[in-house]
Amino acid sequence: MNDQDIITRLNSVFRDVFDDDSLSVSENTTSADIEDWDSIEHINLISAVEDEFSMQFRMREVSGMKNVGEMIAIIKERGKQ
């Protein structure tokens, strides 16, 4: 699984979670870039990403993620296709 494959799948997850079909994420996307990305939506997003990639984030990973690129790195390391 390469970065572009992951981003394509993440775009679908983000669009579903934030109910915005025009949303497009990149490695540099942060919560500040998406208006509705608050702490509650962060939990929903993490859960949806875990489901999509059949993996689980560790608590320190969830609290330490600064951007989508860090999420991609963790998915590449431990995610399943």
Per-residue pLDDT of the chain (81 residues; tens, 9 = 90+): 889 999 999 999 999 999 999 999 999 999 999 999 998 999 999 999 999 999 999 999 998 889 999 999 999 988 654
Q: Which amino acid is at 16?
A: D
Residue partners of 5: CB distance under 8 A and separation at least 6? none
Half-sphere exposure of 13 (CA within 13 A, CB side): 23
Question: Domain boundaries in the chain?
Answer: 3-78
Rounded to whole angstroms, the Cα distance separating 6 from 71 reads 10
pTM recorded for the entire structure: 0.91
Superfamily name with CATH number, domain 3-78: ACP-like (1.10.1200.10)
Q: What is the DSSP letter of 34?
A: S
